[in-house]
């Protein structure tokens, strides 16, 4: 049986790899499209940074006060700010002619308002000539400068009216030190930073799980649909090989090709994300707090294997009911719903925080347990993971039993689901 199984698996892999729809669609394109997207993003980012290296800014000072002079000196000290002189009469036309990105206007009476306990008025005009991240960057830069200037003015006024007071303490009287308690230990990281680091570590596994199941289902259903369309399935079933062995060969072959396609996706996706996230700062946290231990990976691998076998068996059953590849691709969409919905819910929500009815639905869907296992294993909760393993094992046994019985009958050749305008017919 092992020799026959090896022959069927190798045959399945060769046929799938040789199929241009699978080779190009699920292996080559991911390796090309994601790096291409990353390069395009890199080019766009470099263009934005190049635009931000020199920002022409004009300051219209109608107040001529000590405070407006402070703002002028602050602007001169900013490395990427180039001050442009404009007249107060035709400044809009002059700003357009001199490619000025932003105009800061200090209204008359700015200093006197501050002296009288009123707020000073500064007007900011951004010159928008195109839609791009550079325009957003200019606005952010000006906002940061004016925010620093506001603190400088506050410090100066406090020092003037209360010489003995500590201006920085008055402006920021509270020092907040954020810490996080994880697994009973205090981690010197803010909760926001910890959650960000945790999500960055655990987001990949649900994505890989979702891609692996979808790719495996597509490959499995396409495999058997092609054989039915080309009338080669009948020939395969007449060979002196047990039909259960043929079923297992298709399951294993589809799994191997699906794993190759997911690797291709993740290599390209990782390249893309490395470019996108290269400038983001993540706090350094020990893997003992956010990592998965060896035994956790073992539980996760078993859970993923059980879910994958169930998915492949269901996909092959659906493919056997299809007349051709097109109808098979239409039928396989039914299986994508119980994959996509739990994935996107569990990527951002804790299962225990959901309503009880939704929790029950998620636990009944076998394809959600690998994702649930990731979140529970990180915090050392193996009870939920073990329940998921037992449930997935029972579900897989039932599905494989149904698939084996189906392959042992003549329905594997004669079964049809006809999709038409008058409805769906099963035979």
Domains of the chain and CATH, by start? 2-40+191-426 (no CATH), 52-171 (3.40.1710.10)
Burial readout 147-165 (b: 16 or more C-beta within 10 A, e: otherwise): eebeeebeeeebeeeeeee
pLDDT exceeds cutoff 80 at 38: no
For the record, the structure tokens of 193 come out as: 């930073």
What predicted TM-score, i.e. pTM, was given to this entire model?
Answer: 0.62
How far is residue 419's CA from residue 327's CA, in Å, rounded to a whole number? Answer: 7
> Tokens 């390069």 belong to which residue?
39
Distances (CA, A) of 63 to 95, 151, 239: 20, 19, 95
Which of 238-242, 255-259, 267-271, 304-308 has the largest mean confidence? 304-308
- Sign for the pseudo-dihedral over CA of 5, 6, 10, 13: positive
Q: Is the pLDDT of residue 264 over 50?
A: yes
Q: Percent of the chain having pLDDT more than 70?
A: 84
pLDDT at 283 over 70: no
Q: Which tokens in the block code for residue 255?
A: 């799994």
CB-CB contact of 11 with 246 (8 Å): no
In whole numbers, what is the pLDDT of the chain averaged over residues? 78
Mean pLDDT of the 266-280 span: 63
Strand-strand pairing, 102-106 and 55-61: parallel
Statement: residue 274 has pLDDT above 70? no
User: Cβ(59)–Cβ(71) under 8 Å?
Assistant: yes
Residue 421: band (very low, low, confident or very high) from pLDDT cuts 50, 70, 90: very low
Is residue 353 classed exposed, middle or buried when 0-12, 13-18 and 19+ CB atoms within 10 A define those classes?
A: exposed
| pLDDT score of 346 | 84
pLDDT of residue 138: 82
**Buried-exposed string 26-59: b where 16+ CB fall within 10 A, e elsewhere:** bbeebbeebbebbeeeeeeeeeeeebbeebbbbb
Whether the CB-CB separation of 293 and 376 falls below 8 Å is answered with: no
Among left, alpha and beta (phi > 0; psi -120 to 50; other), residue 104 is beta
């Amino acid at each position: 049986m092992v020799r026959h199984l090896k022959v069927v698996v190798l045959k399945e892999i060769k046929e799938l790899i040789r199929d241009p729809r699978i080779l190009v669609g699920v292996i080559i394109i991911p390796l090309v499209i994601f790096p291409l997207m990353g390069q395009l993003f890199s080019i766009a980012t470099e263009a934005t940074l190049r635009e931000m290296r020199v920002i022409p800014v004009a300051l219209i000072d109608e107040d001529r006060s000590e405070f407006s002079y402070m703002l002028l000196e602050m602007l001169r000290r900013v490395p990427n700010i180039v001050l442009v002189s404009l007249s107060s009469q035709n400044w809009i036309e002059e700003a357009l002619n001199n490619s000025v990105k932003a105009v800061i206007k200090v209204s008359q009476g700015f200093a006197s308002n501050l002296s009288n306990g009123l707020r000073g008025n500064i007007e900011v005009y951004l010159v928008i000539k195109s839609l791009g991240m550079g325009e957003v960057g200019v606005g952010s830069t000006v906002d940061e400068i004016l925010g620093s200037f506001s603190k400088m003015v506050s410090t100066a006024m406090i020092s003037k009216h209360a010489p003995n007071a500590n201006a920085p303490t008055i402006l920021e009287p509270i020092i907040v030190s954020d810490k996080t308690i994880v697994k009973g230990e205090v981690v010197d990281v803010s909760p926001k930073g910890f959650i960000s680091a945790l999500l960055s570590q655990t987001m990949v596994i649900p994505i890989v799980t979702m891609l692996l199941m979808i790719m495996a289902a597509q490959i499995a259903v396409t495999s058997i649909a092609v054989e039915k369309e080309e009338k080669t399935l009948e020939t395969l079933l007449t060979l002196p090989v047990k039909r259960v062995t043929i079923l297992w060969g298709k399951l294993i072959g589809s799994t191997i090709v699906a794993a190759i396609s997911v690797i291709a996706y993740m290599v390209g996706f990782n390249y893309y994300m490395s470019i996108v996230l290269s400038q983001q700062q993540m706090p350094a946290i020990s893997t003992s707090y956010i990592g998965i231990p060896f035994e956790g990976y073992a539980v996760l691998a078993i859970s993923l294997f059980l879910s994958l076998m169930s998915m492949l068996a269901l996909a092959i059953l659906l493919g056997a009911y299809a007349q051709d590849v097109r109808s098979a691709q239409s039928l396989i969409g039914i299986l994508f719903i119980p994959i996509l919905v739990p994935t996107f819910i569990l990527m951002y929500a804790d299962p225990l925080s959901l309503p009880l009815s939704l929790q029950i639905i998620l636990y009944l869907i076998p394809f959600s347990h690998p994702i649930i296992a990731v979140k529970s294993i990180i915090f050392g909760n193996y009870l939920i993971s073990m329940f998921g393993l037992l449930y997935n094992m029972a579900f897989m046994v039932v599905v494989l039993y149904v698939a084996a019985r189906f392959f042992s009958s003549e329905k594997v050749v004669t079964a049809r689901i006809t999709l038409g305008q008058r409805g769906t017919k099963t035979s």
